[in-house]
Each structure stands twice: as structure tokens, then as C-alpha cells.
Amino acid sequence: MPRPLAPNDATHSELSTDSDLTSNPPAAGLAQEPLVSRRSMIVGAALAAGAKVLQGVPGAPAQAAQSIPNPTTIQGRTVDELGDRSAFVRSRRKISNSGTSSQTPLDDLYGTITPSDLHYERHHAGVAVVDPAAYTLLIHGLVERPTIFTLEELKQFPSASRVCFLECAGNLARNAKEESRAQDICGLTSQSEWTGVRLSTLFREVGVRPAATWFLAEGQDAAVLARSIPVEKAWDDAMIAYAQNGEPLRPEQGYPARLLLPGWEGNTNVKWLRRLELADRPFMTREETSKYTEALRSGNARQFSFLIDARSIITSPTYPQTVKPGWIELRGIAWSGRGSIAAAEVSFDEGRTWHAADLQPPVLAKAHTRFRYLWEWDGRETTVLSRAIDDTGYVQPTQRELIDARGLGAGPYHLNPITGWRVKPDGRVVYRTERWA
């Protein structure tokens, strides 16, 4: 449901306000919201016509289960041109108060690919509408051959696909409450399989000059958002992506083409990309000076802090779930912009001892990696923490280590503390809150 944009650019700091943490209601029932899609209407019709009662529809709200007819007794709907989720599934992004970002429901998901329509969003000037027939990418500056490419021409080049995460630099709700979901805590990260052309291929095509050390990446949204990127990243693993999870990019992910910088903060992955300019120095845009920099306790501000450090979060069981004593599979995701996840660990004693969780293969570099740990809960109040360790040896830090290194106010960017959940004796699971102020 689109909301009017407020001219507010301070989404990240707002993330730490209480007002932004009103949790979505857990899996809303069918009766709570009108069903609008054609398929849902068919379900609705079945509901209305249902005389028989079917018990035990998994995941179905109790009220709906009362009136869903036995599916073995009626013909189902026929094929359709476009698929849709089950009418029983109510996963939604969570929209921030300012309307400039939305968070992925991490706790609703089971794998490592985020459904494209649930990919997190963070826009500086809304979602741009770009005509693919009119789309061009200009590469100029310190190059031998300033060149304009159409979308079709970009697609002609040898293509590549890779699975990697994106994450907003400001992805921690610092004033989270016990009743916060994983989505609220750090839902500004998602993962897709991206397909496009390697930036190195394009840079060879235009003949990047040796003097070029930086390039400006510029979008064609109303913010004409621009970031300076070191040229080395282009030769390493940067891409111009035109497809996401096998289909053209979603509008909110930069249709028809975006920059993709695996492992680097979301803001640098410029959407609706229109221009790359090679230069021998950074451009010092607003987004790399007054924003997306971290004032440190040393009295300096860290600039060009591209890297996403290793991080993890348990996504189940989490608020608002309740559990019973016995065997519980702890599930979560771990990721690092530095490389691959080497280990994900869980602790039941506030981090004094750690236990290795199982990693779900394939474990890819700069990618969300799912971990699981089978745990037998004895019914006593327990705090469950997780931490990630990547293949460079970097260990996800505690909140205290981050504050000691940077200062309390260095946020909101690049905060990746160990987080956890408290399982209460009555089975409720709540977020293990932390004080940041």
C-alpha cells in the first residue's frame, strides 16, 4: 500500500525510535483484511459456500479453518497467467513511519533467497519509473571511449549471475522492544540472485585510463543519487544488474538496471543507474560526507565505509512465537561482506560459551547463509544469542565492543552487534533488548 513520501531523509535514525517499532500483527487472519486478488476471491467464494468443516489446515487461522470446504470434494481453480501466494500467507514488508524504507519479514522466511516483492527498500526520493526503451547508461570521464549503452546493449554483453545479500548501512533498531520481531531489528537486508554484466567487462569496452581511481555512480531517481566508488571494486566483483531472481529487476530495486557491489552498504548499489564517470579522486557527494559516515570517539568521521561486517540473527523462534519445552530447532541467517561465513554459533550463557550451528550449503561469499541448531529446552528462562564468524577470521562483536571502539553515538551506520532472544518460562519468546542511549 503506497504511502505519501515525507521529505525526510533520516530514516536510519528513526529506526531507533519507539514509534517505528510497532510490530506487524502476527499472521493476520483471513477475516481481518479484505481479500483483493482474483485468486483470493475464489478462496473467498469457497469460504462462503463451504458447508463442510475441514480441521487442521496447517497455518490457517482457526476461523478460516472452520469454513474451508474439504478440498477433496470440490474442483480447485484452474491455471492462471500469474501466480500468487496462498491466501493463508500474509507476509508483508514493514513500512517505516517516513515511508522511505521497508523491512523484509526475515522471521517469515525459510531459505536464503528473499522473494522479490519482499526485498527491503530504502529510497531517497521514492521509486523512479524508467522507460526501458528510453534507458541509457553513459560511461565517461577518464576513459578512452565515452560510450552510451542501451538496455538491450547491456544485455548483449556476456552475462553473469551471483547470489549475494544487500543491506542498508543503517540496519539496527537501537531502541527495539521485547515485542520486536526480527523484521524490526534488522529487516533492511535481503538476498537475491542477481544477473547482469560485469562492470569490468564494460570498463574494458570503454577503455578506462590508468589514472582513473574512482568512479561516480549516479541514478535517475529524483535525488539523482550519486556515490563515489573505488575503481578496484569494478575490477573485483561489481556488476550492472538487470535481473533479480530470474526476472527483470523490480521497480523498487532499480528497474531497469542498477549497480551491484557485493558485500558493500546498500546505498552504494545505485538504482536506476544512468551514468558512470571515471575520475582521479572521489566526488564528495552528500551521501558520502554528511550521510553514510560515522563520527568516531576519536574526533574523526569514518568515510567511505563501504564494507558490511559479519553479522547474524536468529529468526526462529522469535517474537511473537511461543514454544514448549523439548526439542526446538534454532534457525537464523549469518552473513558477511568480507567473504564467506566460516561459522555461526549460538550461546545460552550470555556469550561465555559458544556452540557451532550447522550451516546450510552452499555457503556463498557475501551471502546470507542459513544456520540451524537443535536445542532441547528445559523450560527455564533462557537467553539465546547468535554470532557469525567469517572466513577472514572476523568475529561478530558485542554491543560493548562496538561502543568501546567507536563511541555511543557513532551509529546509526554499520552496527552489527550480537543479538538474541529470551525464552520465558511460559514459552513466550521476546527480544533481548539493549540500551544504546
- The residues in 121-160 that bind other proteins, with binding defined as CB under 8 A, are 124-125, 138-140, 145-150, 153, 156-160
Q: Does 28 bind other proteins (CB under 8 A)?
A: no
User: Under rule CB under 8 A, which residues in 377-406 are in contact with other proteins?
Assistant: 392-395, 397, 401-402, 404-406
x-marked contacts with other proteins along 233-252 as a string, rule CB under 8 A: ---xx---------------
User: How many residues form the binding site for other proteins (CB under 8 A)?
Assistant: 88
C-beta separation of 228 from 216 below 8 A: yes
The residue within the footprint of other proteins, chosen from 38, 77, 85, 297 (CB under 8 A), is 297
| CB closer to other proteins out of 146 and 379 | 146
Task: Evaluate whether 196 touches 260 at the Cβ level (below 8 Å).
Answer: yes
Closest distance to other proteins from the beta carbon of 53 (Å): 49
Least distance CB 410 / other proteins (angstroms):
5
Do 361 and 408 meet the contact criterion of CB atoms below 8 Å apart? no
Helix (H) or strand (E) holding 235: helix 231-236
Spell out the long-range contacts of 59-63 with Cβ–Cβ below 8 A and sequence spacing 24 or more. Answer: 59/27, 59/86, 59/88, 59/89, 60/30, 60/88, 61/27, 61/29, 61/30, 61/31, 61/88, 62/29, 63/29, 63/30, 63/31
Residues 82 to 111 in contact with other proteins, rule: CB under 8 A: 98
161 is an interface residue for other proteins by CB under 8 A: yes
Whichever of 349 and 401 has its CB closer to other proteins, that residue is 401
* Eight-state DSSP code of residue 211: T
Taking CB under 8 A as the rule, does residue 295 contact other proteins? Answer: yes
Residue 319 grid cell: 517474537
Q: In the bound complex, what is the minimum distance in angstroms from residue 170's beta carbon to other proteins?
A: 10
> Whole-number minimum distance, CB 383 to other proteins, in Å?
22
Our measurement of the distance from residue 209's CA atom to the centroid of its chain's CA atoms, rounded to an integer in Å, reads 35
> Which of these ranges, 59-67, 103-111, 115-123, 292-300, lies near other proteins under the rule CB under 8 A?
292-300
Contacts of 360 (CB under 8 A, 6+ apart): 112, 369, 370, 371, 372
Which own/partner contact pairs does 2-7 have at CB distance under 8 Å and 24+ positions apart? 3/95, 3/99, 4/99, 5/98, 5/99, 5/100, 5/125, 5/126, 6/98, 6/99, 6/100
- What's the number of CA atoms in the CB half-sphere (13 Å) around residue 250? 15
Scanning residues 262 to 281, which ones bind other proteins (CB under 8 A)? 274-275, 277, 279, 281
27 binds other proteins (CB under 8 A): no
**Looking at 10, 31, 49, 53, which residue binds other proteins (CB under 8 A)?**
10
Between 313 and 352, how does the x/- string for binding to other proteins read (CB under 8 A)?
A: -------------------------x--------------
Asked if 296 interacts with other proteins (CB under 8 A), we say yes
